[in-house]
Each structure stands twice: as C-alpha cells, then as structure tokens.
Structure 1
C-alpha cells in the first residue's frame, strides 16, 4: 500500500501542476502596431514661386489724326487726315510667386483660390505710316508713327477647379480664371510729313503721348499639377505647368502737333488706342503645408 500511495501522490501532483500552468497568462510578445500610411489630399494652404514667358499678338493698335487751319477762323476743320493700324506683339520673361488654398471635396474634385504677383519684362515696339492725305490747298501728307508698350508687373486673383482620379490622387488637371491687374506703360509719337511741289517741304512734329497706369481686366487658362508619391519628405512639394490668357484692356493717348506748316498752315490733333492682351506659359513649384490627412485612430479594448 505504501508504494501505491506514493505513486498516486506523484500522479496527482503532476496533474495539479499542469492545470495550474494552463491558468498562467501567456508570455508571448504582442504584435507591433503598424499605423496605416497617411492619405494624400490637396486640401490645405500652399505657396510657391514661378517663372515663365509672355507672348502673342495682343490685337492691333490703331489711331488717326485730323487737321486744323491756324490762319482760318478758330477750329476750322480740314477734310482728309491720316489713319494707321500697327501690330502689337508683346514678348518677355515673367517671374513671381503665388499663394492659394485648395479644398478636396471627394477623390476627384478639388476647388481652390489662388493669387499671384509677377515681375515682367513683357514689351512691344512697332512703327509704321498712316495713309497719305492731300490737304488742299496745301500738299500731300503722310503720318509716321511709332509706339512702345510694356507691362512692368501684373497679378491675378483666380478660382481653380481641379479634377483628379482615385488611381492617380497626386495628379490634378485644372481650369482657372478670374481678375487681373497690372502696370501698363504706353508711349506713342507721330510726325506729319508733307511734300510741297512749289514750296518748302518738312515735318510737322507731334508731341509724344504717354500712358502709365494700373489697368484691370480678366484672365483665364488651365494647367496640370503633380506631387511625388508614395509618402516622403518631397511629397509636400508639387510642380505645375500653367497657361494663362490675360486681357488688361485698352490704353489711349492723344495730343496736338507742336509745330505748324509754313505760313500758318494746318496743325493736327491725334488719338491712338492700344490693347494690352497676352498669353503666358509658366512653370511653378509649390510647398503644401499639410498635404497628408491624419490616419484614422483605431481604438483597442
């Protein structure tokens, strides 16, 4: 009995120990939590710089002059005159900066507002001759004209509507348009050349008219913007290529000739109108202050 009792005691002890061990907590390490990658979004504030080139036919400059006889009753008009039509082709480098805000409504629609300011070297220069006119009883005349124009700086405030694809969330195609303003400088000169078959020939000199003011108008265009993915330090940057057509309205200069014909012949008064319209293609670099939405927090219980 003694041997049996001892053996039974050993078996009971082993069974009890196994049961106790089963009740102990597991010592296995918990799995490491890996948060989901942040989600890219166009929503947020951004700012950047750009450089580009302005160009294109801005519409023709046109004007004309009429004659007044100085030795006749005051203000007596003469028939005839001269008219001109000059090409206006603005060209030059532009560069500046922009700030804006986007809001992404869903995976494919982005709406935003952007303002920019540009220094500009865009300018044009043209010259030509007005149609000949015979001013009886004086002599044939022809107006020699020249015009220079520059856009010293300009800016825009525009809305933007962008489209993206869920499969390419970091690529946006957008249209844009809104208000434009800029400093327009226009200088114009005209001289009236006359040829007399019997008397002296010469030039009636006109004053150089000038215009220097801030014009307002509109602009419209579109572009493409891209940012690198996957998530990295460079994903806060985006690059864009953009086209804008800008119309800053018309400028008008006028004046009256500084000299007259021999013997009190006619003087002239002139008016010249010049439109300011141009295209701009530019590349830009933007910094987005918060381009990634925070990953969702998953509660653990």
Structure 2
C-alpha cells in the first residue's frame, strides 16, 4: 500500500512538473496514427481529334465528343502511420513553434457509365464507361503552431505548407450504340500520370502531458493539394482497321484530404 501511494505521488508530481510554464519548451519527436480521408473531384472534357474517311464521320464524331463529359468524386478512408518532429517555445501561457511531419498516403477509385442520346442521330446512343484510380503516395507538411497552455494541457492552432506525390490512372471505353455503316471498332484507352504537388494545410489540436517528457496528442488537419490533369487520346476504327475518328480528352482532378490523428510525443 505504501509503495502504491509513493508511486501515485511520484506520478502526480511528474504531472505538476509537466504543467510548469516552461515545460513545453524544447525539441520533441513523435509517432502518430492518422485516419486519412482522400477526396478527388474530377471534371472531364473532350475535343474532336483526327477524322477518318467515310460518310457522316464529322457529324458522328462531333456528337460523340459532345457526350464524353462527366463530373465525379472519389472518396476513401485509410488509417496510416506517420512521424513528426518539432520545437516549441514558451512565453508564459503562450506556446509557439514549428513542426514537420511525414505520413503514408491513401488510395481511392471511382467508376461510372454514362449514356446519351445523339440529337442528330436518334437511332444511336453514345455510351461512356470509365474507371479512375487515384493514389496519394505520401503526405508531408511543415507547419507553424500557436497555442495556449494551462496545467498539463496545450491547445493549439496550426497551419503551413503541404507536399505530396499524386498519381492518376484513367481507363475509358466509349462505344457508339446503334447502326453505323460500316460498323466501327471502339478501342479502350488507358492513361496515367504522376506529379508532385505543394499546397496548404491548416488544423487544430490538443496535447496532454502524462509525464515530464511524455505527451499524448489529438489533432485534425485539412489539406488542399491543388489539381492534376490527365490527357487521353481515344481512337475509333473501322472493322478494316482504318481510322473512323478520334477524340482528345482531358480529366482535371482537384485533390483535398483530411486526417484525424492520435500521437505520442517524447520531448527532450
């Protein structure tokens, strides 16, 4: 019983030390788990490409391109690990500092099927099938922190720069349904791209000191990573292999993300 009382007294003394006005100052490192939500908003447009030989090719190609547009949103939730390091300064109850972190990313997919009646060719329909894969490979930030400390608690706001590697893969297939003479062969198209993007991040959080050098934290961050685009080239062939028509498409995607984090910090 005496040992238990002594241990409890030692623990609460540690909490009291952690709550001192200068206890938050100094360098620190930590590990966290992040529930990461990835949202990608895509808008597709298309323009007529090269035309082959044959009756009505230009008109049919115009009608096809006019229907090859869509707007879609891909979402995903993933729990990912990460690391962080930073430095804090105290001025009374005010705490400010800088922090850098790195975490694993997330993946999402979206797919759909659009069918449109052609105005000048009522016997035909344009069908457009697509499947998109989005990959947020990693996510890194460099942020300032500004907060208020009271006893063992620190509440803070944070904002800064976010950097990520993004990649997109687009698979599409756009056949024309209905009579054509001669019947064309519609080819599927696969296009991919990758890019590094820098955007902004902002959020808020709180930390609790459980010992002089050990803290637990919870925070929420929102990221805007800008946009990427994928250019696709689709071809339609006659059954003889000759070109019927082609179209040039562009898919522009806006990337945003958010993460709810639980972390464990060791301060020096």
Q: Which residue of 2 aligns with 1:284?
A: 263
Structure 1 range deviating more: 108-117 or 136-145: 136-145
Distance 1:142 1:135, change over 3 A: farther
Cα distance in 2 between the residues matched to 1:124 and 1:202: 34
Q: Which residue of 2 aligns with 1:213?
A: 195
- Equivalent position to 2:139, from 154, 170, 174: 154
- Equivalent position to 2:82, from 96, 107, 111: 96
Q: Which residue of 2 aligns with 1:295?
A: none
Q: Which residue of 1 aligns with 2:116?
A: 132
Distance 1:250 1:131, change over 3 A: farther
Length, aligned pairs only: 240
Q: Which residue of 1 aligns with 2:128?
A: 143
Distance 1:177 1:101, change over 3 A: same
Is residue 236–residue 243 contact of structure 2 (8 Å, CA) maintained in 1?
no
Instruction: Give the C-alpha shift of residue 199 in structure 1.
Output: 5.0
Instruction: Give the C-alpha shift of residue 198 in structure 1.
Output: 5.7
Cα distance in 1 between the residues matched to 2:180 and 2:28: 73
Distance 1:198 1:158, change over 3 A: closer
User: Is residue 119 from structure 1 mapped to residue 104 from structure 2 by the alignment?
Assistant: yes
Distance 1:278 1:202, change over 3 A: farther
- 1:246-296: CA deviations, max 9, x gaps? 11111100121144355643222111112211110111111110xxxxxxx
- 1:200-221: CA deviations, max 9, x gaps? 7676224211122221111111
Question: Which structure ranks higher in relative contact order (CA pairs < 8 Å, sequence separation ≥ 6)?
Answer: 2
SS in 2 for 1:42: coil
Unaligned runs of 5+ in 1: 1-36, 229-233, 290-301
Distance 1:239 1:201, change over 3 A: farther
- 1:96-135: CA deviations, max 9, x gaps? 11110111111x2111100001122x11111012352528
Cα distance in 2 between the residues matched to 1:215 and 1:226: 34
Structure 1 range deviating more: 58-67 or 88-97: 58-67
- Equivalent position to 1:255, from 220, 232, 235: 232
Is residue 236–residue 244 contact of structure 2 (8 Å, CA) maintained in 1?
no
Higher Cα radius of gyration:
1
TM-score relative to the length of structure 1: 0.72
Distance 1:277 1:55, change over 3 A: same
RMSD: 2.5
- Equivalent position to 2:95, from 96, 106, 110: 110
| Bigger strand fraction | 2
